[in-house]
Amino acid sequence: MTRLRNILYNRNSFLIAALLSGLLLPWAAQFTKLYLLYILMALMSFSLMSFSTKDLRPFNLVIRPVISVILLNYILFGGLLMGLAWLFFGSDSNMMAGFLCIALAPPGVVIVPFSKMIHGDVKYSTLAVLAGYLLLLIIMPVMLYFMEFQSGNSMRVIIEMIIMLVILPLFLSRISEYPPVLNRIKPYIGKIINTLFAVIVYTVIGLNRDIIINNLDVILLPMLVLSLLLFGGGYLFRLITIRIAMQEQIRRSLELIFSVKNTGFAAVLCLALFGEKAAIPSAALSVILLIYLIWLSIKAKRQTDTPASMGVER
């Protein structure tokens, strides 16, 4: 029973179940779609509870992670993604909008636990992710202002999304600063995050189920683009950082900061601004990122299990 419980509570199991449910039982996606903004607001609030405002001090230690997340997650990843998307989908405005939502999305909160798993610099990763969310207060209004002209959505919708997806989660997550509250909810935070993220994945897959099943090529090409960026770009990034003799812990954290985006944020942003077809790249990213993170988990476990790595903290 213990082993079965561990499998059921495992993040990968949740996501695989959500993908399969979206394909086989898509009927509820029309219902969950109505509450996606609230689900993502809750997801981001619980995710940010693992961060403490104490991590922002002293300020001089925050500068490098902030620069890293700007250059790697937003500029480098976003620029490469939009370049590849233009090569394959330059004439498809819906697909380009979908990839733009991914480029705009903040770094995935999963960076922090995976940084610990692969023996990266956890505090560096935490600061970078927190900085990525704070930067949304600047990046999102500017980007969505220009996106509005193509999407036809009013500025009111954009302001509401900034409040619900950035400001409120940052505010609500601070209840974790009170030990009595944190001690009560801490054992359940991981399960809550897994469940909420699985609902978002299920909704995106369910809404696009007919397109995925009847037009498999529609999602295969975005999956190819994202595979090239995650696996190919991640491999080249790793080679470069090894060549310049970067500190190993920092290198592993930077690899995650470069490659991991918040797919739930991207999916909800697409659905709210552009419609279901624009969310196809986010659905593809859910699949590819899941495979990528499972691959990182397996690789990290193999490295940990080798004689040379025995004694390293897991």
- Tokens coding 204: 């995106």
Classify burial at 133, counting beta carbons within 10 Å of its beta carbon; exposed 0-12, middle 13-18, buried 19 or more.
buried
- Tokens coding 232: 């190919």
User: Residue 261 contacts by C-beta under 8 Å, 6 or more apart in sequence?
Assistant: 73, 77, 102, 105, 106, 107, 108, 285, 289
Lookup result for tokens 């219902």: 31
**Distance (Å, rounded) from C-alpha 213 to C-alpha 280?**
13
Q: How far apart are the first and last CA of the chain?
A: 24
> Which 8-state DSSP code applies to residue 312?
S
Axis crossing angle, helix 2-9 with helix 11-24, rounded to the nearest 10: 70
Q: What is the mean pLDDT of each run of 10 residues along the chain (314 residues)?
A: 47 75 88 85 78 66 85 93 91 88 85 74 82 79 61 60 78 76 77 81 80 76 92 87 79 88 82 80 83 74 54 37
Domains of the chain by range and CATH? 51-132+191-298 (1.20.1530.20)
| pTM score of the predicted model | 0.73
Query: What is the per-residue pLDDT across 115-150, written as a single tens digit (0 to 9) for each?
Result: 776 777 877 887 888 888 878 778 777 766 665 544
pLDDT value at position 310? 39
pLDDT value at position 227? 94
pLDDT value at position 3? 45
